[in-house]
């Protein structure tokens, strides 16, 4: 009996081993069938020479196609407007010729009631009503329509309520197309100047040299019963000469108002800072002043009106140190033995200037400004005629809070 059980046990062992190998093979086949294949198109580029996936290139092609479509739509819109204007002028000329022929055959007749309205005369009257060339008397500051500032990619709003950010992208397609059309129209005016623009005929190199990359900033405001006024500024790289184009849309096609050259190289900004104590904040202010005004601009004068004696010597040492290190002497320190008053300090600083025409920038020790903002002050002010107060993204406190302070004005 034991001899017969030995072969039976050997067979059982071989049978169990066979079943185990079969289960391993089945498990291996299951893993091969159920494991998802690696998506080569999603592999990121690395050091092994791998390439971008097709989705990446499809996105690039789609973005490029959208740009071409937007550009084509803008050009088609301009062509349609030009065709419409040409048709209207042709109809007016034909009507005028018909009236002349009728008057030659029948004698002079009263055509007051039958004469069509002059479109250009109406559009120019809208320009006069929109305060483009001359201002209008307003009953109060609440009747003033403010300007909005914009660049090629952002719009900076003043009246945004409590839910919107002052800096936003033009999300709506009609708003984007509107700003693109205005920039393109201004570029066409600059690159193809008329005789009335005042440019010299002997400077042919100035034509066809401005592109969208030279657009620095623009302003616009819309009055419901008149139209939209646009002011755009263009400048070459590392140039102090700006091109200023004013356009007006009187609920119709754009009309050129003027195209002038703005020279800012001779405009000096007198930065007036009232101060009492706060020497650490003044040290930070001087650090930014050194980087922006001394190292890059150098067309500024710093006037510090200091109230009291506590900290006066430290402020004076800061100014002397920056004067030695940067060879900068365009500053004035005015000590005042009175209680601190910002309005009093600004008035003292303004009265202390005796060197002719200057652009005064009423500043605070906590304000951080950039080189672009100094150019903005020069562009949007004029001696004895124009002064503006700005709340832009360039005004930031050191603790990242925007402040409505800083009044550039000419004296």
Straight-line distance from the first to the last Cα atom of the chain, in angstroms, rounded to the nearest whole number: 127
Q: Which of 149, 151, 135, 383 is nearest to 264 (CA)?
A: 383
Q: How far is it, in rounded angstroms, from Cα 157 to Cα 160?
A: 6
Q: Is beta strand 255-263 parallel, antiparallel or unpaired with respect to 215-223?
A: unpaired
Q: Which of 370, 360, 356, 358 is nearest to 406 (CA)?
A: 360
Per-residue three-class SS string for the chain? CHHHHHHHHHHHHHHHHHHHHHHHHHHHHHHHHHCCCCCHHHCCCCCCCCCCCHHHHHHHHHHHHHHHHHHHHHHHHHHHHHHHHHHHHHHHHHHHHHHHHHHHHHCCCCCCCCCCCCHHHHHHHHHHHCCCCCCCCCCCHHHCCCCEEECCCCEECCCCCCCCCCEECCCCHHHHHHHHHHHHHHHHHHHCCCHHHCCCCCCHHHCCCCCHHHEEEEEEEEECCCEEEEEEEEECCCCCEEEEEEEEECCCCCEEEEEEEEECCCCCEEEEEEECCCHHHHHHHHHHHHHHHHHHHCCEEEEEEEECCCCHHHHHHHHHHHHHHHCCCCEEEEEECCCCCHHHHHHHHHHCCCCCCCEEEECCCCEECCHHHHHHHHHCCECCCECCCCCCCCCEECCCCCCCCCEEEEC
Token couple for 305: 């009106």
Q: Which of 116, 123, 124, 122 is nearest to 92 (CA)?
A: 116
Q: How far is it, in rounded angstroms, from Cα 18 to Cα 13?
A: 9
Q: Supply the pLDDT for residue 396.
A: 34
* Sheet of strand 331-336, all strands in order from the earlier edge strand to the far edge: 331-336, 300-307, 269-275, 359-362, 407-410
**R_g of the chain computed on alpha carbons:** 36
Q: Which of 377, 387, 373, 391 is nearest to 159 (CA)?
A: 391
182 burial level (CB within 10 Å; 0-12, 13-18, 19+): buried
Q: For the domain 269-394, what is the CATH code? A: 3.90.550.10
Q: How far is it, in rounded angstroms, from Cα 106 to Cα 67?
A: 59
Ordered by start, the domain boundaries in the chain are 141-193+211-263, 269-394
Q: Supply the pLDDT for residue 362.
A: 92
Q: Supply the pLDDT for residue 202.
A: 45
Q: How far is it, in rounded angstroms, from Cα 173 to Cα 19?
A: 69
Token couple for 38: 């690696």
Q: What are phi and psi of 229, to 5 degrees?
A: -105, 130
- Identify whether the C-beta of residue 256 lies closer than 8 Å to the C-beta of residue 186: no
86 burial level (CB within 10 Å; 0-12, 13-18, 19+): exposed
Count of beta carbons in the 10 Å neighbourhood of residue 243: 25
Token couple for 269: 């900004």
Q: Each residue's pLDDT tens digit in the chain (411 positions)?
A: 455 556 677 778 888 888 888 888 888 887 777 665 555 444 444 444 456 678 888 888 888 888 888 888 888 888 888 888 888 887 877 777 777 666 555 554 444 443 445 667 777 777 777 777 677 777 887 777 888 888 888 888 766 655 566 667 665 677 778 888 999 999 988 888 876 665 544 444 445 478 888 899 999 988 877 888 899 999 888 788 889 999 988 876 677 888 888 888 888 999 999 999 899 999 999 999 999 999 988 899 999 999 999 999 999 999 999 999 999 999 999 999 999 999 999 999 999 998 888 899 999 999 998 998 998 888 888 877 655 544 333 333 333 333 333 445 555
CA-to-CA separations, 370 to 133, 396, 398, in angstroms, rounded: 30, 10, 13
């Amino acid at each position: 009996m034991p001899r017969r059980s030995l072969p039976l046990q050997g067979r059982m062992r071989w049978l169990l081993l066979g079943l185990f190998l079969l289960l391993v093979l089945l498990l291996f086949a299951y893993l091969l069938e159920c494991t998802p294949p690696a998506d080569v198109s999603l592999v990121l580029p690395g050091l092994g020479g791998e390439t971008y996936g097709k989705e990446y290139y499809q996105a690039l092609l789609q973005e490029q196609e959208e740009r071409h479509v937007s550009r084509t739509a803008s050009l088609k819109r301009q062509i349609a407007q030009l065709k419409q204007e040409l048709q209207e002028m042709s109809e007016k000329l034909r009507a005028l010729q018909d009236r002349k022929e009728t008057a030659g055959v029948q004698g002079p007749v009263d055509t007051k009631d039958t004469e069509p309205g002059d479109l250009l005369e109406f559009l120019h009257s809208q320009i006069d009503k929109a305060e483009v060339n001359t201002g209008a008397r307003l009953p109060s500051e609440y009747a003033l329509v403010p300007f909005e500032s914009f660049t090629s990619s952002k719009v900076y709003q003043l009246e945004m309520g409590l839910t919107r950010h002052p800096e936003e992208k033009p999300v709506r397609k009609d708003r984007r197309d509107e700003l693109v059309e205005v920039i393109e129209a201004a570029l066409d005016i600059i690159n193809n100047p008329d005789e009335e623009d005042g440019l010299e005929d002997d400077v042919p190199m100035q034509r066809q040299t401005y592109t969208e990359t030279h657009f620095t900033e623009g302003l616009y405001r819309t009055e419901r019963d008149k139209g939209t006024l646009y002011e755009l500024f263009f400048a070459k790289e590392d140039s102090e000469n700006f091109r200023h184009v004013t356009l007006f849309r009187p609920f119709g096609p754009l009309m050129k108002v003027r195209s002038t050259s703005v020279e800012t190289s001779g405009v000096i900004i007198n930065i007036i800072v009232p101060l009492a104590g706060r020497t650490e904040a003044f040290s930070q202010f001087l650090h930014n002043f050194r980087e922006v005004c001394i190292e890059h601009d150098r067309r500024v004068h710093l006037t510090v009106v200091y109230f009291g004696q506590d900290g006066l010597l430290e402020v004076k040492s800061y100014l002397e140190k920056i004067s030695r290190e940067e060879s900068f002497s365009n500053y004035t320190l005015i000590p005042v033995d009175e209680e601190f008053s910002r309005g009093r300090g600004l008035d003292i600083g303004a009265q202390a200037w005796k060197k002719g025409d200057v652009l005064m920038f009423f500043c605070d020790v906590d304000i951080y400004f950039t080189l672009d903002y100094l150019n903005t002050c020069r562009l949007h002010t004029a001696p004895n005629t124009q002064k503006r107060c700005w709340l832009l993204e360039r005004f930031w406190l050191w603790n990242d809070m925007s402040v409505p302070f800083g009044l550039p004005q000419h004296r």
